[in-house]
Amino acid sequence: MKKLLILVLIAGAVFGFYQLGGEQWLLPATYQELYQDNPWLTAGIYFSVYVAVTALSIPGAALMTLIGGAVFGLWTGLLIISFASTIGATLAFLMSRTLLKDWVQKKFGQYLNTINQGMEKDGAFYLFTLRLIPVVPFFAINLLMGLMPISAFRFYWVSQLGMLAGTAVYVNAGAQLGELEELSLAGIMNPGLLGAFVLLGLFPWFAKSLLGKYQVQRNLKARAHGRAKPAKFDDNLLVIGAGAAGLVSSIIGSATKAQVTLIEKHKMGGDCLNTGCVPSKAIIHAAKVVHESQKGLQSGLLKGNIEGIDFDKVMEHVHGSITAIEPHDSVERYEGLGVNCISGSGKLISPWEVEIETADGQQETRSAANIIIATGGKPRVPEIPGLDEVDYYTSDSLWDIKKLPAKMIVLGAGPIGCELGQAFARLGSQVTMVDRSELPMPREDDDVAQLVLESMLADGVIHKAGRSITELNKAAGGGYTAKLDNGEELAFDALLIAVGREANTQNIGLEELGISTDNNGFVEVDEYLQTNCPTIYACGDVIGGYQFTHVSAHEAWYASVNSLFGRFIRFKSDYRVIPWATFTAPEVARVGLNEKDATANGIDYEVTQYGLDDLDRAITDDAATGFVRVLTVPGKDKILGATIVGPRADDLISSFVTGMKHGLGLNKVLGTIHAYPTYMEANKYLAGMWKKKQVSAKLLDWLGKYHKRKLK
Query: Of 345 and 655, which CB lies nearer to ligand FAD in the complex structure?
Result: 345
Across 579-604, b (16+ Cβ under 10 Å) vs e yields bbbbbbbbbbbbbbbbbbbbeeeeee
Query: Of 54 and 280, which CB lies nearer to ligand FAD in the complex structure?
Result: 280
Please compute Rg for the chain using Cα positions: 35
Cα–Cα–Cα angle for 560, 544, 574, rounded to 5 degrees: 50
Cβ 536 vs Cβ 371: under 8 Å: yes
- Residue from 166, 174, 270, 421 in contact with ligand FAD (CB under 6 A): 270
CA distance linking residue 642 with residue 630, whole number of Å: 4
Query: Of 370 and 375, which CB lies nearer to ligand FAD in the complex structure?
Result: 375
- Residue from 333, 550, 638, 668 in contact with ligand FAD (CB under 6 A): 550
Query: Of 377 and 421, which CB lies nearer to ligand FAD in the complex structure?
Result: 377
- Residue from 345, 350, 584, 594 in contact with ligand FAD (CB under 6 A): 345
- Residue from 92, 127, 245, 339 in contact with ligand FAD (CB under 6 A): 245
Nearest approach, Cβ of residue 273 and ligand FAD (Å): 8
Query: Of 82 and 552, which CB lies nearer to ligand FAD in the complex structure?
Result: 552
Interacting positions 280-319 with ligand FAD (CB under 6 A): 280
Query: Of 57 and 560, which CB lies nearer to ligand FAD in the complex structure?
Result: 560
Nearest approach, Cβ of residue 540 and ligand FAD (Å): 2
Q: Does 264 contact ligand FAD by CB under 6 A?
A: yes
Nearest approach, Cβ of residue 115 and ligand FAD (Å): 36
Interacting positions 416-475 with ligand FAD (CB under 6 A): 416
Peptide bond into 677 cis (omega under 30): yes
Query: Of 416 and 453, which CB lies nearer to ligand FAD in the complex structure?
Result: 416
CA distance linking residue 36 with residue 500, whole number of Å: 80
Q: Does 508 contact ligand FAD by CB under 6 A?
A: yes
Residue span binding ligand FAD (CB under 6 A) among the ranges 66-74, 374-382, 401-409, 689-697: 374-382
CA distance linking residue 421 with residue 287, whole number of Å: 11
Nearest approach, Cβ of residue 376 and ligand FAD (Å): 2
CA distance linking residue 374 with residue 248, whole number of Å: 10
- Residue from 241, 405, 440, 544 in contact with ligand FAD (CB under 6 A): 241
Read off φ and ψ for residue 695, nearest 5 degrees. Answer: -75, 135
Query: Of 188 and 255, which CB lies nearer to ligand FAD in the complex structure?
Result: 255
Q: Does 162 contact ligand FAD by CB under 6 A?
A: no
Residue span binding ligand FAD (CB under 6 A) among the ranges 39-47, 156-164, 329-337, 371-379: 371-379
CA distance linking residue 362 with residue 343, whole number of Å: 11
Residue span binding ligand FAD (CB under 6 A) among the ranges 34-42, 51-59, 251-259, 548-556: 548-556
- Residue from 548, 627, 656, 679 in contact with ligand FAD (CB under 6 A): 548
Nearest approach, Cβ of residue 294 and ligand FAD (Å): 24
Query: Of 95 and 374, which CB lies nearer to ligand FAD in the complex structure?
Result: 374
Q: Which residues contact 230 (CB under 8 A, 6 or more apart)?
A: 352, 353, 367
Nearest approach, Cβ of residue 434 and ligand FAD (Å): 18
Residue span binding ligand FAD (CB under 6 A) among the ranges 76-84, 117-125, 364-372, 545-553: 545-553
Q: Does 266 contact ligand FAD by CB under 6 A?
A: yes
Question: Which secondary-structure segment (H or E) carries 451?
Answer: helix 446-458
- Residue from 271, 435, 444, 595 in contact with ligand FAD (CB under 6 A): 271
Q: Does 265 contact ligand FAD by CB under 6 A?
A: yes
Query: Of 489 and 518, which CB lies nearer to ligand FAD in the complex structure?
Result: 518
Residue span binding ligand FAD (CB under 6 A) among the ranges 111-119, 258-266, 444-452, 665-673: 258-266
- Residue from 90, 552, 573, 608 in contact with ligand FAD (CB under 6 A): 552
CA distance linking residue 666 with residue 609, whole number of Å: 13
What DSSP letter does each residue of 341-404 carry, written as one string? EEEEEEEEEETTEEEEEETTS-EEEEEEEEEEE---EEE-----TTGGGS--B-TTTGGG--S-
Nearest approach, Cβ of residue 247 and ligand FAD (Å): 7
Spell out where 140-205 has E strands.
none
Three-class SS of 303-359: CCCCCCCCHHHHHHHHHHHHHHHHHHHCHHHHHHCCEEEEEEEEEEEECCEEEEEEC
Nearest approach, Cβ of residue 529 and ligand FAD (Å): 12
Interacting positions 640-669 with ligand FAD (CB under 6 A): none
Tell me, what DSSP letter sits at residue 530? B
Bridge-partner residues for 562, per DSSP?
none
Read off φ and ψ for residue 383, nearest 5 degrees. Answer: -85, 115
User: What strand order describes the sheet that includes 494-497?
Assistant: 462-465, 430-435, 407-411, 494-497
User: How far are the Cα atoms of 376, 550, 558, 564, 608 from residue 253, in angstroms, in the given order?
Assistant: 19, 18, 11, 8, 43
Contacts with ligand FAD by CB under 6 A: the residue count is: 35
Nearest approach, Cβ of residue 372 and ligand FAD (Å): 10
* The pairing of beta strand 639-645 with beta strand 588-592: antiparallel
Spell out where 619-669 has E strands.
627-632, 639-645
Cβ 579 vs Cβ 573: under 8 Å: no
Q: How many residues in total does the chain contain?
A: 712
CA distance linking residue 32 with residue 40, whole number of Å: 13
CA distance linking residue 392 with residue 383, whole number of Å: 13
Nearest approach, Cβ of residue 590 and ligand FAD (Å): 12
Interacting positions 384-413 with ligand FAD (CB under 6 A): 395
CA distance linking residue 312 with residue 328, whole number of Å: 25
CA distance linking residue 636 with residue 693, whole number of Å: 11
- Residue from 253, 346, 641, 659 in contact with ligand FAD (CB under 6 A): 346
- Residue from 22, 166, 178, 246 in contact with ligand FAD (CB under 6 A): 246
Nearest approach, Cβ of residue 240 and ligand FAD (Å): 5
Spell out where 8-90 has E strands.
none
Q: Does 240 contact ligand FAD by CB under 6 A?
A: yes
Query: Of 266 and 436, which CB lies nearer to ligand FAD in the complex structure?
Result: 266
Nearest approach, Cβ of residue 327 and ligand FAD (Å): 16
Cβ 372 vs Cβ 539: under 8 Å: yes
Residue span binding ligand FAD (CB under 6 A) among the ranges 12-20, 40-48, 542-550, 685-693: 542-550
Cβ 577 vs Cβ 657: under 8 Å: yes
Amino acid (one-letter) located at 421: G
Query: Of 175 and 244, which CB lies nearer to ligand FAD in the complex structure?
Result: 244
Nearest approach, Cβ of residue 415 and ligand FAD (Å): 8
| Residues binding ligand FAD (CB under 6 A) | 240-246, 263-266, 270-272, 276-277, 280, 345-346, 374-377, 395, 416, 504, 508, 540-542, 547-550, 552
